[in-house]
Amino acid sequence: MKMSRSFLSPLVAFLFVSAFLSQSGIAVAAGRSGKGQDTVTKVVEINRQALAQIQANKYEAARDALWGAIALLTDANLGEHPISARTHIHLAAVYMTGFNDRTKAIRQFVIALKIDPNIKITPQVETAALDEAFDAARGQVGLAAQARTAPAAPSGKTPAASTPAPTAEEQAMPASGSSAGTSAGGRRGLRGARKFVDQEEPTPPARVPEPFYCPLPDEVPPKEDIPVRCVTQKQPRKASATVFYREKGAEDFTPLPMTRSPKGWLSATVPGAAVTGSAFQYYLEAKVPGIKEPLSIGSADGPNLMPIVDGAAPVNNTMLAMLLEGKDTSTRPAPMVEDNAPLDEINKQYQMDEELRKYHRRLPGAVFISLGGGAFAQTYHGAMSLDSHDPTIQLQAGPSGATLLQTTGEIGYQFTDKLGMSIQARLQITPSHSSGWVIPPGSSMKQPPTSALAIFLRGQYALLTLGNFQAFGSAIAGFSPMGKTFLGYVAGNCELALDGTLVDGKPYKCPDPPNHLVGHSDTVSGGPVAVGLGVGMMYHITRSLAIWVEGRGLYSFGSIVLGEWNAGLAIAHKFESSAPASRMPEGQGGWERPPGEEDKDAPPSD
């Protein structure tokens, strides 16, 4: 009995040492699996930039960037990924809208549709001409024309109309050169081709919406002065205020006291020389008579950040009037709700994959192998015969002791992040104390079995997931090819002195009825079929390696219930195609020479 209880400690030690020694090598392999995810993230960003370049009529830059993205995907064996199809859609838009090359546009659409037959044109670049080319490409791959609820704008142009008088929004926009013009097929932004005309400083609002109110835009142009105007709810004519701003590369904020304007604003102007970099950092403080603590918008430890955007509208009186009216002052076109939907959906999926990679959990679609073992098994049985004795000698109903150990091995498949199924083999070994007893000639006694083998179908489901940790429940059902699914160990508990001698100096007599063994241990057997339930915990060291512990109960249709604990290692791997992608000819998904470039490798013509 001592042997069986001491077995678990070295077993668990072995499992954890093995996990530690193998973690570094498997972690390296897991890190390599993130290369494809990093590539997709890069390509998603390239597509976003390309869309902005298309809207800014920078077609050559967009074309080169998109071909670079396709090269990245090809090198990473991701030519069939959804982001590859989306990249070919955008490349078709470049060829059709920017270079008026319908043939190449259709060719790119065909490649995209072969990857994803359900793909649609990104709304930001959709035009009537592009829709027509897309339908032609669908016909080439055997698909019907796409259904539309409304006609697209013809090639990004809008019908001519009489020119209205400039509005306040148009007056606030910079002169020509803004990137906020009408994009091909996109949504119209605020027009920026009119000459700037400022207006008189507006009056502060009659009802100040905040204790300290400073209407400021969401973005400012680089190297342009920023007039800042504020007003307080209380004591607006007696309050004072200061703007604190920090220039690029500086550690400290520069204070700029505000003065009273003729209309009653607290006013200061940040010099354009301080408006550099990618964001303008500032905070404001106001002192109001009767209020002990100064009012603030931001702080030195948490300043406000205002993006510095090339082509943003200048901050002036016209913009202040728009801000007071609650109007949008951004010069960038307001995107349609679904504009970035295709890219966002791809990015979202890869963020989920990144989350899985971060927490190392076993991937859906992975094949896993698990090895383990344990001890401290306890059986509960009805009145039954011992395996080595005459059937007339019955063991009373009750518990029996622990076996020496059991080992388990399984191979399975992970269907989802939570559900896995496997085939498990369980080998049980019992102590053997039979060498000291003799089977009388002609006796029905036999040596008790020392092992039992069973094959189970096992399901495991994660009940709770916290990072790398999972608590799970399991269920098994199976049979034994040996006719015994498991054994219960019955230790020798009575030694009968047949010749009347003393045992330890005292007369010794076995209890009556003869629920005993004479000089040896014995076993009781489960039937050929068994079912069971279990609960356990699993910790994922890497995505491929996990350690687990499980307690479970088995019931055999022989009136025997067995309880046991097991622990072990699980190794998983998701098999994916690793064949290198071959370079394809032009128009078939590979690199395509940009128009106008000469073939330097071609032989000179006569």
DSSP string, 334-387: PPPTTTTHHHHHHHHHHHHHHHHHHHTPPPTT-EEEEEEEE---EEEE-SEE-S
Tell which residue, 320, 313, 311, has the closest CA to residue 199: 320
Query: Which residue, 269, 298, 324, sits at the end of a domain?
Result: 324
Q: What is the mean pLDDT of residues 461-472?
A: 91
pLDDT in tens, 368-414: 999 999 877 778 877 777 777 655 556 677 787 767 788 999 999 99
CATH of the domain at 455: 2.40.160.20
CATH of the domain at 241: 2.60.40.1930
| Amino acid at site 530 | A
Predicted local distance difference test score (pLDDT) of residue 525:
82
Same domain, 473 and 524: yes
**Cβ distance 413 to 387 under 8 Å?**
no
Of residues 151 and 28, the one with the higher pLDDT is 151
Same domain, 290 and 371: no
pLDDT in tens, 254-280: 999 999 988 899 999 999 999 998 889
Whether residue 201 is contained in a domain is answered as yes
Same domain, 488 and 535: yes
Mean of the per-residue pLDDT values of the chain: 75
Same domain, 512 and 384: yes
Predicted local distance difference test score (pLDDT) of residue 569:
95
In this model, does residue 284 exceed pLDDT 50?
yes
In this model, does residue 457 exceed pLDDT 80?
yes
For residue 217, give the 3-state DSSP assignment: coil
Q: Mean pLDDT check: name the lowest of 177-191, 493-507, 535-549, 591-605.
A: 177-191
Same domain, 536 and 501: yes
Q: What is the mean pLDDT of residues 501-507?
A: 46
Same domain, 214 and 271: yes
Tell which residue, 458, 455, 446, has the closest CA to residue 548: 458
> In the structure, how many helices (H) and strands (E) does the chain have?
10, 23
Whether residue 311 is contained in a domain is answered as yes
Residue 4 confidence class, pLDDT cut points 50, 70, 90: very low
Say what the pTM is.
Answer: 0.40
Same domain, 416 and 526: yes
Residue 587 confidence class, pLDDT cut points 50, 70, 90: very low
Whether residue 181 is contained in a domain is answered as no
pLDDT in tens, 110-156: 999 999 898 999 888 888 889 999 999 998 888 887 765 444 444 44
pLDDT in tens, 49-59: 888 888 888 88
**Cβ distance 449 to 430 under 8 Å?**
yes
Residue 288 confidence class, pLDDT cut points 50, 70, 90: very high
Q: What is the mean pLDDT of residues 554-577?
A: 86
Of residues 586 and 445, the one with the higher pLDDT is 445
Same domain, 96 and 239: no
Residue 170 confidence class, pLDDT cut points 50, 70, 90: very low
In this model, does residue 73 exceed pLDDT 60?
yes
Query: Which residue, 305, 324, 343, sits at the end of a domain?
Result: 324
Same domain, 390 and 487: yes
CATH of the domain at 40: 1.25.40.10
pLDDT in tens, 94-110: 999 889 899 999 999 99
Tell which residue, 272, 195, 196, has the closest CA to residue 227: 272
Whether residue 399 is contained in a domain is answered as yes
pLDDT above 90 covers a percentage of the chain that reads: 30
Partners of residue 220 on adjacent β-strands? 308
Same domain, 281 and 420: no
Predicted local distance difference test score (pLDDT) of residue 81:
87
Predicted local distance difference test score (pLDDT) of residue 375:
79
CA–CA gap between residue 475 and residue 550 (Å, rounded):
12
Same domain, 65 and 210: no
Predicted local distance difference test score (pLDDT) of residue 105:
92
Q: What is the mean pLDDT of residues 287-316?
A: 89
Whether residue 151 is contained in a domain is answered as no
Whether residue 188 is contained in a domain is answered as no
Predicted local distance difference test score (pLDDT) of residue 508:
39
Predicted local distance difference test score (pLDDT) of residue 195:
38
| Domain containing residue 113 | 35-144
Whether residue 271 is contained in a domain is answered as yes
User: Six-digit token pair at 417?
Assistant: 């992040």
Phi, psi of 446 (to 5 degrees): -150, 160
Q: How many independent structural domains does the chain possess?
A: 3
Residue 466 confidence class, pLDDT cut points 50, 70, 90: confident
CA–CA gap between residue 136 and residue 110 (Å, rounded):
9
Predicted local distance difference test score (pLDDT) of residue 557:
79
Predicted local distance difference test score (pLDDT) of residue 538:
94
pLDDT in tens, 305-314: 888 888 888 8
For 123, 161, 459, 481, the CA distances from 374, given in Å and listed in that order, are: 60, 84, 19, 22
In this model, does residue 496 exceed pLDDT 60?
no
Predicted local distance difference test score (pLDDT) of residue 174:
42
Same domain, 430 and 567: yes
Q: How many CB atoms lie within 10 A of CB 439?
A: 12
Residue 47 CB partners (closer than 8 Å, separation 6+): 66, 69, 83, 86, 87, 90, 343
Whether residue 197 is contained in a domain is answered as yes
User: Six-digit token pair at 363?
Assistant: 């991937």
